[in-house]
Chains A and B, each alone.
Chain A
C-alpha cells in the first residue's frame, strides 16, 4: 500500500488495536491523528477518540486511559512535545505504557516547520523508550512494536518514536501491512492486571501520593532496572515481529558495512538512507566506510555501538540537534563510552538538506582529522560564513 510515514503510523496504530486516542493538531504530525479520527468515525477501529484542547491534555488523557486499562496513543511534534513535557515525564516516571509518535521538527523561535531532532531528544530523561524510524515502512512496524515493548511486563514504560518531518512524515512509499490475525497473536489485548497502575474500584489504591526521601531512590531505581531489561524486551519484540512480517528488522541499532570499516558514521532517522548511499559510493572509491544507525536512543545501545565500531579508526557522529554549551547530543553521548577517535558533526539543522554527498564529505573529513590528529572535534557541516 502506498502510504506516507504519517499514514503508515496511523495504520500501525489501527492494526495494533489502540483503544483510546487523545490528540491535538500540529504540523507536520496532524495527518496521523486525522487518519485515526477517520478510522474511529468510520467504525474501522473500536476506539474512543478524545479531541483534547492541548498536547498537555492529550498525554494526560492517555495516562488516564492506561490507568483504566485501555491501550492509548497520541502523536505530536516540536512545540507540542515541549508543551506536553510535564506529562511526558508523568507517564515515564509513573510507568504508564502509552505510545506516541513524534514527528521531529525544529523548535521555535523563529518559526520553522522543518526537520530537526531537538524536540525528541529534549525528552530523553523522561523515562521513555525512544526510537527513531528510517522510513514509512519502519514507521508502520514501529507503531505496532512500540505497544508490545511498552506493555511488556518486564518493562511497562512508555515508548515514543520519531519520524523526520516531511522526509518521512509526508513522503509516500510502498508499505507492507500485516494481517489482522498476525497482529493479534503478536500483540494480545492489554491485560489490566499486568499494569503497575490500574484504577480498580474492587481493589482500590492511590497512585502518586507523597513519597518521602526514604523511598524515592528505590522507586527511581526500579525504573532503572526496567530499562536494563528493556534491551531484551526490544530484541524480543523485533524478533517476534520478524516472524509475523517475514521482513528483517533493525534491532537496537542497524549496522551497515561496519565490519571492516575504518570510518563509521553514526546517524539516526531518515537521513540514514542517504548516508548508506554515501557508504556505497565511498566503497566504490576504495574508502572503507560504514554506518551505524541508532534505531533506539533510550535505552542507549552502548554495547551494540561499541561492538560495531571496534575496528574503526574514527567514528563520525552526525547530530541534527544541539545542546548549547555542550555540543551535538548523540556525539556527546557516544563520547562518554566510545574509545575510538571521534569526530562530531552538527548538520541539517532547521531542515537543511543532508545529501549523500554531504555524508561522503563527512566521512572523508573524519578520516582526515584522524590522520592529522587535529584537536578540534566538532564541525558545523555546511555552515555559511
Chain B
C-alpha cells in the first residue's frame, strides 16, 4: 500500500544548487564568525561548524546572495558561475 505521508529528506526538490547563477565564496581570512550568514540563509545551506567558521553547502545553495549582503566584514563574494564548471 502507498504511504500517505512524505518523509523528511534533504533535497526534497532536488539538488537546488543547480539553480545557482552566482556562487558565494567565503573568505575565511575576512570572516569573523558572527554567523549572520547562517542566520539569514533562507535555505539553511550554511553549516555552523562547532566553534569555527561557517561553511556553505553547495549542493543546495541557490545562490541568492543574501549571505554576501548581510556579511558585516564583506567576507562573502558572489562569483558569476562559469558554465560547465564543476560547482559542487
Contact = CB atoms under 8 A, between A and B. Distances in A.
Interface string B50-76: 000000000000000000000000000
A219 B6 contact: no
B2 A206 contact: no
A222 interface: yes
Nearest to B4: A196
Nearest to A204: B8
A209 B4 contact: no
B2 A197 contact: no
Chain B interface, DSSP helix/strand/loop, else mixed: strand
B4 A197 contact: yes
B85 interface: no
A198 to B, nearest CB: 8
A219 B2 CA distance: 7
A44 to B, nearest CB: 34
A94 B2 CA distance: 12
Interface residues of B, number: 7
A337 interface: no
Contacts of B8: 204-206
Contacts of B4: 94-95, 196-197, 205, 207
A191 interface: no
Interface in A210-224: 215, 218-219, 222
A204 B7 CA distance: 7
A218 B5 contact: no
Nearest to A198: B5
Contacts of B1: 222
Contacts of A207: 4-6
Contacts of A215: 2
Interface string A351-381: 0000000000000000000000000000000
B5 A205 contact: yes
Nearest to A221: B2
A219 B1 CA distance: 9
Q: Chain B CB within 10 Å — which of A206, A218, A219, A222 has the most?
A: A206
Interface string B1-27: 110111110000000000000000000
A207 B2 CA distance: 13
A222 B2 contact: yes
Nearest to A96: B4
Q: Chain A CB within 10 Å — which of B2, B4, B6, B8 has the most?
A: B4
12 contacts: A196-B4, A204-B8, A205-B6, A205-B7, A205-B8, A206-B5, A206-B6, A206-B7, A207-B5, A215-B2, A218-B2, A219-B2
Interface of B: 1-2, 4-8
Rank and list the top 9 A-B pairs by shortest CB-CB distance, nearest first.
A205-B5, A196-B4, A206-B6, A197-B4, A222-B2, A209-B6, A207-B5, A205-B7, A219-B2
